């Protein structure tokens, strides 16, 4: 493992993707002047330059990149160097067609687009790591090289012959025998029994699947998802290994994407030194969505600071409606990244390109080329704030006593499951996780986002939305967690299958029956207009979508709320089981935001989970701490100003003024206030 990203920098990194190769040198000089004005200290170079760097099988040309690397070093900039392997050159596709992917419909692609390489192509597996190694060898001596950026936004799913052969090998490695594959996938159903691994073909539109999210054969589709994620990870690991030969102390990352479904980022984090991601929320996206992904990225490396690799400085160009970030929003969102654990905030892109796909995508320097635009001036304010703080915040961590499980295997499997619904809104694992996370976020409770494999024992509150798949060992670890005094929450449609999607017999929720103290006999699913209701804590809430019908409770378990309508009126909708020193709750249906807020507010208090600050609509409050003190971030997402009362004495980090406990501070619309309490 290399040094951490935070160890390589002296201040919060600020900058982004920079493409000087698209511009004459006089423009470079203008860029440097504007970067200084905006407090920009970091450039990401070489993201899509493979065609320029490699002109034939064994012919490389680094002259242009040499010139750029020298130029930015002379100008005092830090560099995050990309390996350029996210799009192969046209000549390579002509000379070695195995690098071209086969798409979901079984069509062999020709050269074009990006993410265009098959992850199991011998050509790709030879030339991509080789290029990464050559770059590392050549630029190892640059002391301003702060990180490696492998490829870009990995997402090359493929269904070619090479992938099919590699999938069979992956299955042999995993299951050993074809009999074990048949057992794991339940192939006696629909006459699917295989007698030889060579009979297994990739699951796509030509075979088992009606869409990428619906399949006739869950076992194979689930394993192919795992296999494709592993295939891309294997290639990424080869590049990382080449890089480490020459620059063992320069940390490597690749930029993840928001709720991206094809890669199990939990597994990927193990081969990276730090995590980074790209945030491009849609106009109507809930703000908690972005906060959760920040928390997830931080949690993936055990709370180590992460990097926001990309966001737009003002506008995107690829969404249906590309809205301008309103005044104050980019600064607020940049600080939100830091508030959730980022030690760097970068943009795509620094100068707006003149042609092709992303010419209308926002940039720090717009087509007009001036530093006097509204957007530039706001960006410069944030850059100078980061500059002025130096290393004060670097390496700061967040203590979280609450965790929510976001597990890729569980997401893939629960969404592939045929039933209880085919409505994508109902099936959405993300939506169910967000029902709970949004309440934690509104309550200003510091939260980690973890997988089923992670350690539960360091938390007081553990939430497992739709724990449909319970992997080996998880039951025991949850039981131990609750026995020792933890509070566990699960929601409807949990405890259904094992790791290969075979149902646990003996009643739902399978391995979670004991800790939850319940037996779910039937699961009802009704159209959106068919609502039920329940009363919890003296208040009536709606029940919708899924309705688990709990027909018996252990003596230690009691109902906290009951359905009010239909033939199961009176059956529990929410239960609480005493188990050892802790409690296990079950929410048997789905409800509205106010229920999750009230419910988690109560049980967090009972579990001894303390919010960072009281809940105020539109106000997000988080905490980080390091040797320089404890930092409380107050973020006003509202369009109106807001008054806060300081919970402790300290210093206003951005103004440097002293602050007393109980002082009132007015936050402007989209305003940010950071309280620094000195280190104890």
The contact set with Zn ion (CB under 5 A) reads 118, 120, 158, 160, 162-163
For residues 234 and 120, give the distance between their C-alpha atoms in angstroms, rounded to a whole number.
9
CB of 85 vs Zn ion, minimal distance in Å: 15
Provide the 3-class DSSP secondary structure of residue 365: strand
**Catalytic one among 310, 385, 620, 677?**
310
Is 153 an annotated catalytic residue?
yes
- Please state, in angstroms and rounded to a whole number, the distance separating the CA atoms of residues 197 and 437: 42
Largest CA distance in the chain: 79
- Between strands 78-82 and 145-149, the pairing is parallel
| CB-CB contact of 119 with 231 (8 Å) | yes
In this structure, how many other beta carbons lie within 10 angstroms of the beta carbon of residue 549? 20
Query: What's the angle, vertex CA 44, arms to CA 239 and CA 286, rounded to 5?
Result: 100
Q: How far apart are CA 632 and CA 615, in angstroms?
A: 14
> What 3-state class would DSSP assign to 191?
helix
Q: How far is the CB of 224 from Zn ion (least distance, A)?
A: 12
Q: Which is nearer to Zn ion, 162 or 299 (CB)?
A: 162
How many C-beta neighbours within 10 Å does residue 283 have?
A: 9
Nearer to Zn ion, 125 or 269 (CB): 125
Q: Residue 161 CB, nearest distance to Zn ion (Å)?
A: 8
C-alpha–C-alpha distance, residues 646 and 426, integer Å: 41
CB 12 within 8 A of CB 341: no
CB 164, min distance to Zn ion, A:
8
Give the end-to-end CA distance of the chain in Å, rounded to a whole number.
31
CA dihedral 23, 27, 29, 33 (to 10 degrees): -120
Strand, helix or coil for residue 490 = strand
Burial class (CB in 10 A: 0-12, 13-18, 19+), 176: exposed
Q: Of 108 and 605, which has the nearer Cβ to Zn ion?
A: 108
Q: Which residues contact 610 (CB under 8 A, 6 or more apart)?
A: 401, 445
Whether 495 and 511 have beta carbons less than 8 Å apart is answered as yes
The per-residue DSSP string of 447-466 comes to: EEEE-TTS--TT-SEEEETT
Give 99 or 612: the residue with its C-beta nearer to Zn ion: 99
Q: Which helix (H) or strand (E) holds 434?
A: helix 429-442
Q: Residues 254, 286: contact at Cβ < 8 Å?
A: no
Q: Are 236 and 271 in contact (CB under 8 A)?
A: yes
Q: Which residues pair with 79 in a beta bridge?
A: 43, 145
Give least dist CB 202 to Zn ion, A: 9
Percent of residues in the chain assigned helix, strand, coil, to nearest 5: 35, 25, 45
**293: closest CA among 272, 263, 265?**
265
Mark whether 310 is an active-site residue: yes
Nearest distance from residue 157's CB to Zn ion, in Å? 9
The residue among 389, 350, 346, 390 whose CA lies nearest residue 371 is 350
- Of 153, 208, 209, 432, the active-site residue reads 153
Assess contact for 338 and 345: CB atoms under 8 A: yes
List residues bridging with 257 in a β-sheet. Answer: 278
User: What three-state secondary structure class fits 195?
Assistant: coil
Active site residues: 153, 310
């Amino acid at each position: 493992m290399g040094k951490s990203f935070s160890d390589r920098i002296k201040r919060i990194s600020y900058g982004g993707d920079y493409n000087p190769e698209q511009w004459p040198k006089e423009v470079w000089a203008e860029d440097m002047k504007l970067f200084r004005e905006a407090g920009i200290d970091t450039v990401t170079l070489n993201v899509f330059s493979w065609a320029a760097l490699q002109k034939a099988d064994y012919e490389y040309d680094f002259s242009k990149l040499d010139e750029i690397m020298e130029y930015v070093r002379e100008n005092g900039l830090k560099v995050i160097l990309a390996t350029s392997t996210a799009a192969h050159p046209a000549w390579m596709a002509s000379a070695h067609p195995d690098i071209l992917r086969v798409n979901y419909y079984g069509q062999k692609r020709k050269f074009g687009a990006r993410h265009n390489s098959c992850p199991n192509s011998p050509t790709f597996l030879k030339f991509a790591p080789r290029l990464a190694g050559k770059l590392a060898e050549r630029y190892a001596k640059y002391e301003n090289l702060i990180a490696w950026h492998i490829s870009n936004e990995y997402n090359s799913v493929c269904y070619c012959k090479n992938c099919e052969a590699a999938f069979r090998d992956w299955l042999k490695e995993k299951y050993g025998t074809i009999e074990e594959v048949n057992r794991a996938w339940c192939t006696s159903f629909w006459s699917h029994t295989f007698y030889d691994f060579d009979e297994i073909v990739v699951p796509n539109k030509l075979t088992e699947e009606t869409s990428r999210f619906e399949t006739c054969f869950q076992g194979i589709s689930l394993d192919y998802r795992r296999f494709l994620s592993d295939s891309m990870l294997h290639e990424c690991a080869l590049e990382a290994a080449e890089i480490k030969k020459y620059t063992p102390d320069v940390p490597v990352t690749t930029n993840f994407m928001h709720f991206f479904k094809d890669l199990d980022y939990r597994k990927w984090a193990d081969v990276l030194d730090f995590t980074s991601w790209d945030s491009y929320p849609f106009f109507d996206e809930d703000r908690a969505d972005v906060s959760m992904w920040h928390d997830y990225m931080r949690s993936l490396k055990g709370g180590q600071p992460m990097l926001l690799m990309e966001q737009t400085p003002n506008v995107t160009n690829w969404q249906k409606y590309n809205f301008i970030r309103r005044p104050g929003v980019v600064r607020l969102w940049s600080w939100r990244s830091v508030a959730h654990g980022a030690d760097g905030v970068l943009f795509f892109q620094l100068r707006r390109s003149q042609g092709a796909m992303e010419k209308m995508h926002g940039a720090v320097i717009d087509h007009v080329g001036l530093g006097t635009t509204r957007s530039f001036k706001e960006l410069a304010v944030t850059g100078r704030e980061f500059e002025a703080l130096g290393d004060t915040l670097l390496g700061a961590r967040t203590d979280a006593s609450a965790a929510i499980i976001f597990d890729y295997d569980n997401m893939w499997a629960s969404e592939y499951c045929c039933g209880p619904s085919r409505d994508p809104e109902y099936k959405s694992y993300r939506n169910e996780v967000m029902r709970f996370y949004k309440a934690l976020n509104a309550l200003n409770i510091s939260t980690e986002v973890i997988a089923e494999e992670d350690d539960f024992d360091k938390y007081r509150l553990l939430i497992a939305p739709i724990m449909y798949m319970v992997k080996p060992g998880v039951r025991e670890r949850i039981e131990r967690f609750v026995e020792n005094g933890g509070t566990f929450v699960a929601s409807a449609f949990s405890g259904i299958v094992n790791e290969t999607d075979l149902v646990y017999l003996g009643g739902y929720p399978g391995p979670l029956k004991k800790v939850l103290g319940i037996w779910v006999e039937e699961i009802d699913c009704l159209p959106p207009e068919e609502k039920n209701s329940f009363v919890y804590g003296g208040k009536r809430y709606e029940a919708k979508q899924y309705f688990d019908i709990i027909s018996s409770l252990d003596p230690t378990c009691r109902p906290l709320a009951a359905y009010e309508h239909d033939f199961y009126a009176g059956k529990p909708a929410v239960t609480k089981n005493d188990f050892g020193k802790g409690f296990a709750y079950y929410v048997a249906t789905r409800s509205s935001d106010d229920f999750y807020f009230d419910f988690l507010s109560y049980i967090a208090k009972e579990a001894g989970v303390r919010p960072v600050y009281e809940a105020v609509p539109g106000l997000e409050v988080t905490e980080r701490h390091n040797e320089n003190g404890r930092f409380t971030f107050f973020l006003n997402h509202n369009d109106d100003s807001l008054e806060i009362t300081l919970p402790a004495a300290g210093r206003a980090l951005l103004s440097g003024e002293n602050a007393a406990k109980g002082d009132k501070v007015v936050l402007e619309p989209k305003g940010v206030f950071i309280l620094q309490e000195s280190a104890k």
